[in-house]
Amino acid sequence: MNINVEANKFLFELKVGEGYNDVIVTKRTKKRIHLSNGFIVHITKLENGLLYLDSKLNNKKHPIINQILRDIEGWLVYKKLTENYGFI
């Protein structure tokens, strides 16, 4: 599976109290994921049924979703390396 797809899926499936690195989900609704770093990820359903993740900061559109997903990708790679190979 593509690491970007894994990162999107990981973020989408996070529940309150779960997270990555030092970022935790503080609140979650059907349409929003509130992160402890102040960012809000919006979940939008497209006409064809696909889900789209977008980010906002202080109720303004902010393209930080790409950075959030890159952070999760790095965290997932680190996690896999430490679990599979015992790296610290």
| pLDDT, tens digit (0-9, with 9 covering 90-100), for 20-69 | 988 999 999 999 999 998 888 989 888 898 888 888 666 666 678 888 88
Cα–Cα dist 82/77, whole Å: 9
The C-alpha angle with vertex 10 and arms to 7 and 11, in degrees rounded to 5, equals 85
Full residue range of the structural domain in which residue 48 is found: 3-85
Greater pLDDT, 6 or 66:
6
Cα–Cα dist 41/64, whole Å: 9
Number of domains in the chain: 1
